[in-house]
Structure 1
Amino acid sequence: MAINNEYVKGLDREFVFHSWSTQGVLNPLVIAGGEGCNVWDFDGKRYLDFSSQLVNTNLGHQHPAVIKAIQEQAATLTTVAPATANLARGEAAKRIIEQAPAGFKKVFFTNGGADANENAMRMARLFTGRDKVLSAYRSYHGNTGSAIVATGDPRRVPNEYARGHVHFFTPYLYRSEFSAQTEAEETERALRHLRRVIESEGSASIAAILLESLPGTAGILMPSAAYMQGVRELATEFGIMLILDEVMSGFGRTGKWFALEHYNVVPDLITFAKGVNSGYVPVGGVVISEQISNYFDTHFFPGGLTYSGHPLAMASIVASIDAMRKEGVVENALEIGSKVLGPRLRELQQRHAVVGDVRGAGVFWALELVSDAQTRAPLAADKMQAIKAKLLERGLLPFVVENRIHVVPPCVVSAAEVETGIAILDEVLGSVVG
């Protein structure tokens, strides 16, 4: 039997149920293999991956050191109960703590980012004895019980079964909720708004503030350092735990090991997944501050997962962090972002009126497309679909959300690959919207 795109797509459409989809209208892209920043289908068409799949392949596709580590671990011990001590698990946790800010002590491993956020919220509630969790309207924290309700975007609405969640607005100067004209005004008014939400909800009832260090799915929204420091101060003032979600922004994506390093802010809990091992094996986790870790030395933690600290995932983390250190991957993301990707995207903004805003850091950028530069009306959905289709036709795999193109190649992307991708974006924007 010949394996080709038609056969694989047929299998998918007959047997696979997809997430976030109306099943009957799907036409999924077929991917057969990948290497570095490129993927290809069974018919030989190649794509430059400017999506990093779901913004997770920070090391690119099929990094040989990580593949080798998974293979060697599989030959030694494929699985083990989480209650045991395991070499790979200990080494993975040690490396994560080494990259975390000072004051963090232990790592609780999960299966992905959503259950990392679930368990971080659980820890904060247990530690404080409080119930409520505050999070942003423009956010995404995962699709499990509490994580999806903590999520602010509209996907939470049909899933609102968890209790104790309150949302607030965070800074977004391009579409300010606070009638701000400057970043300083936006920061000051957003912090005042958050203080009023805390006071109105009753500060003694709030266990945690959960924020993405740099909101990803919501649009790669760049908060100021002053805002993040102000949130930290509010949390400290009211005895609230600060959880920073680094699931998408961590492990090199913004040109730092953790995006929180841009703000000089230290939270109480950090959640991670995706980039810690480029998604080669499902894994996530919570990095726990010494204060909270010490609390659970004498208090029972009522949570666990069968695959917490799974050996294959742990081996992939060890190899990934070692490779990132050895190969200067985080430094590459910072340099590419500051010297090539960011400047080229801003040049696109100058050439195309449809590009209303450009924002990002490292290899974590967004183009916000508008139909009118003055009113900032979002570009219509049919135009966005036409742009996406044309990008794929030209061999660029994009990450398109609403009226935005998220430009998020692997952290190992080269300057030449960036130039290739930008040239395709330039051509397609010109051909579709003029």
Structure 2
Amino acid sequence: MSMSSEEMISTCLEHTMFSWAASGTVSPLPIARAQGVYLYTPEGQKILDFNSQLMSVNVGHSHPKIVEAIKQAADGLIYVYPGAATEARARLSKRLAQLCPGDIDCFFFTLGGAESNENAIKAARLYTGRPKILSSYRSYHGATNACMQLTGDPRRIHNEPGGPGYVHVMPPWPYDYSFGADEDQITANHLRYLDEVIMYEGPDQIAAMFVETVVGTNGILPPPRGWMQGLRALLDKHGILLVCDEVMCGWGRTGKLFAVEHYGVVPDILTMAKGLTSSTVPLGAMGVRRAIADHFREHVFWGGLTYNAHAFACSIALAAVDVLVDEGMVDNAAKLEPVMRSEMDRLRDKHPSVRGGRCIGLFGMIDIQRNAAGDSIAPYDGTHPAMQRLAAFFRDEGLFTFVRWGSFMCNPPLCITEAQLREGFEIIDRGLDITDEAFEG
């Protein structure tokens, strides 16, 4: 007999721990099934998934072609040790080599984004012989120990101290960013600053710089104009590798298969997960350019995982990639970007508490202000009662998304229709009356 919502919640709270939370304070959402862009509670409440769960269910829930692939894969080879060659491993790596930018054509398979970044740290250090890694304060790269040190957001602080060699730099956009600013000047200033940091840290000591091609949970921030191209040139000047973390922004989320395609840049290492399988099974990958792959043909790569290149997971990834590409979901994300932007603009014009919104593809965020000066309604790493009420309203009205600090996410599955997208913004529209009440004028 299936559990009720109450039974699910009470049992999970009693016997499991929850991410980034004191378990005694959480109120988990009970989900019995999911289909397309909707989730359903055991009692049948329909919830629009406006965040693709963790920005990861890119093709939507329970896609029939992926479900069928799972059934077929279960009748085939499920697991062998990582030293074996399998058809699924061969086919997936060949497919990724065809799809990834430039000469990124060799892959180390993991079980998720953090493991992909963890192994990218190892690969960069082993390849260059250098110890230091640069990353941005405005970033998130995963919850393993090393990736927590890469990460710049407040979650890092509670996981310190970590290992040596991690250097954080300011992001190109200031925290109190303004998209009306002179992007060319912002780019020039930041690259000059970054070159100075590299000088101080010793260019011959820095293995790589990790960047989220489009910053994810810390703002949904595409880089300012020309910055990615300038960064590529700066790092090349010093022999420093560029690692693009596309765990969140890859696989169609931005309206391109990979976000770097917007900027005409090929990173030395590309990390991915989430949309690689649309979160149907755990799988991630670190993709490297040919020169790095050739290096590890002659030198040991000192990394290993029991589930590296897991045969079952590789089979499902093939199906998920085919669905994403063949059914035009990347194009759909690009097509619906102006719809999302127009909805965000409409809400800004209607609600005094809306500072503004931004999106690239179906990767979006809306910021809430407490006054006409544009001050955020909540401090950095903080909250506000109105934001808590807004989150509760979304949940009660059947909209799933993340409310964080003074902002909330707009990242639906890439299969969403225009009507479903507007359905989500209609709920948001009604909810923003709550934050308008807290607007100070």
- Point out the more displaced range, 167-176 or 350-359: 167-176
- Point out the more displaced range, 410-419 or 1-10: 1-10
Secondary structure of the structure 1 residue equivalent to 2:155? helix
User: Does the C-alpha gap of structure 1 residues 128 and 34 become closer, same or farther in structure 2, counting only changes over 3 Å?
Assistant: same
Aligned position for 1:320: 320
Secondary structure of the structure 2 residue equivalent to 1:175? coil
Aligned position for 2:424: 421
Pairwise CA distance, 1:431: 4.1
| Residues 1:91 and 2:88 are matched in the alignment | no
Q: Whole-Å Cα distance in 1 between the matches of residues 72 and 196 of structure 2?
A: 54
Aligned pair partner of 2:384 in 367, 381, 384 = 381
Q: Whole-Å Cα distance in 2 between the matches of residues 78 and 94 of structure 1?
A: 20
Asked if the contact 2:362–2:411 (Cα under 8 Å) also holds between the matched residues in 1, the reply is yes
1:235-384 equivalences under 5 Å are: 235-338=235-338, 340-379=339-378, 380-384=383-387
1:35-114 equivalences under 5 Å are: 35-114=35-114
Secondary structure of the structure 2 residue equivalent to 1:376? coil
Q: Whole-Å Cα distance in 2 between the matches of residues 107 and 8 of structure 1?
A: 39
Aligned position for 1:163: 164
Asked if the contact 1:36–1:63 (Cα under 8 Å) also holds between the matched residues in 2, the reply is yes
- Aligned residue identity for 1:122: K
- Aligned residue identity for 1:395: G
Q: Whole-Å Cα distance in 2 between the matches of residues 219 and 140 of structure 1?
A: 11
Pairwise CA distance, 1:174: 6.7
Deviations 1:137-159 (A, max 9, x none): 00000011211100000111121
Asked if the contact 1:245–1:271 (Cα under 8 Å) also holds between the matched residues in 2, the reply is yes
Aligned position for 2:11: 11
Alignment RMSD (CA, Å): 1.6
The count of corresponding residues between Structure 1 and Structure 2 is: 432
Asked if the contact 2:36–2:61 (Cα under 8 Å) also holds between the matched residues in 1, the reply is yes
Pairwise CA distance, 1:432: 4.3
- Aligned residue identity for 2:348: Q
- Aligned residue identity for 1:224: P
Secondary structure of the structure 2 residue equivalent to 1:371? coil
Pairwise CA distance, 1:378: 3.0
Asked if the contact 1:176–1:186 (Cα under 8 Å) also holds between the matched residues in 2, the reply is no
Deviations 1:366-414 (A, max 9, x none): 1011112314233452111110100111111112222111100001110
| Residues 1:394 and 2:393 are matched in the alignment | no
Query: Percent of aligned positions with the same letter in both sequences?
Result: 39
* Aligned structure 1 segments of 4 or more residues deviating by more than 6 angstroms: none
Deviations 1:140-181 (A, max 9, x none): 00011211100000111121322100001112257149x994
- Aligned residue identity for 1:357: G
TM-score (norm 1): 0.97
1:394-413 equivalences under 5 Å are: 394-413=397-416
Asked if the contact 2:40–2:46 (Cα under 8 Å) also holds between the matched residues in 1, the reply is yes
- Aligned residue identity for 1:262: H
Deviations 1:46-76 (A, max 9, x none): 1000011100000000011111111111111
Secondary structure of the structure 2 residue equivalent to 1:318? helix
- Aligned residue identity for 1:370: Q
Pairwise CA distance, 1:342: 1.6
Secondary structure of the structure 1 residue equivalent to 2:95? helix
| Residues 1:234 and 2:237 are matched in the alignment | no
Structure 1 residues not aligned, in runs of 5+: none
Structure 2 residues not aligned, in runs of 5+: none
Q: Whole-Å Cα distance in 1 between the matches of residues 239 and 377 of structure 2?
A: 40
Q: Whole-Å Cα distance in 1 between the matches of residues 84 and 322 of structure 2?
A: 24
TM-score (norm 2): 0.95
Q: Whole-Å Cα distance in 1 between the matches of residues 145 and 355 of structure 2?
A: 35
Deviations 1:211-259 (A, max 9, x none): 0000101110121240111110111000000000000000000010000
Deviations 1:321-374 (A, max 9, x none): 111222111001110113x11211121111112111311211100101111231
Q: Whole-Å Cα distance in 2 between the matches of residues 149 and 156 of structure 1?
A: 6
1:106-255 equivalences under 5 Å are: 106-160=106-160, 161-172=162-173, 175-176=176-177, 181-255=181-255
- Point out the more displaced range, 231-240 or 364-373: 364-373
User: Does the C-alpha gap of structure 1 residues 107 and 125 become closer, same or farther in structure 2, counting only changes over 3 Å?
Assistant: same
Asked if the contact 1:250–1:272 (Cα under 8 Å) also holds between the matched residues in 2, the reply is yes
- Aligned residue identity for 1:366: M
Q: Whole-Å Cα distance in 2 between the matches of residues 94 and 200 of structure 1?
A: 41
- Aligned residue identity for 2:364: W
Q: Whole-Å Cα distance in 2 between the matches of residues 143 and 207 of structure 1?
A: 21
Deviations 1:235-285 (A, max 9, x none): 100000000000000000001000011111111000000011111101111
Asked if the contact 1:78–1:312 (Cα under 8 Å) also holds between the matched residues in 2, the reply is yes
Asked if the contact 1:225–1:264 (Cα under 8 Å) also holds between the matched residues in 2, the reply is no
User: Does the C-alpha gap of structure 1 residues 244 and 2 become closer, same or farther in structure 2, counting only changes over 3 Å?
Assistant: closer
Q: Whole-Å Cα distance in 2 between the matches of residues 100 and 225 of structure 1?
A: 23
Asked if the contact 1:399–1:408 (Cα under 8 Å) also holds between the matched residues in 2, the reply is no
Pairwise CA distance, 1:189: 1.4
- Point out the more displaced range, 399-408 or 122-131: 399-408
Q: Whole-Å Cα distance in 2 between the matches of residues 433 and 325 of structure 1?
A: 41
Pairwise CA distance, 1:86: 0.7
Asked if the contact 1:173–1:183 (Cα under 8 Å) also holds between the matched residues in 2, the reply is no
Q: Whole-Å Cα distance in 2 between the matches of residues 313 and 168 of structure 1?
A: 36
- Point out the more displaced range, 350-359 or 5-14: 350-359
- Aligned residue identity for 2:167: V
Secondary structure of the structure 2 residue equivalent to 1:69? helix
- Aligned residue identity for 1:43: E
Secondary structure of the structure 2 residue equivalent to 1:343? helix
Q: Whole-Å Cα distance in 2 between the matches of residues 75 and 360 of structure 1?
A: 41
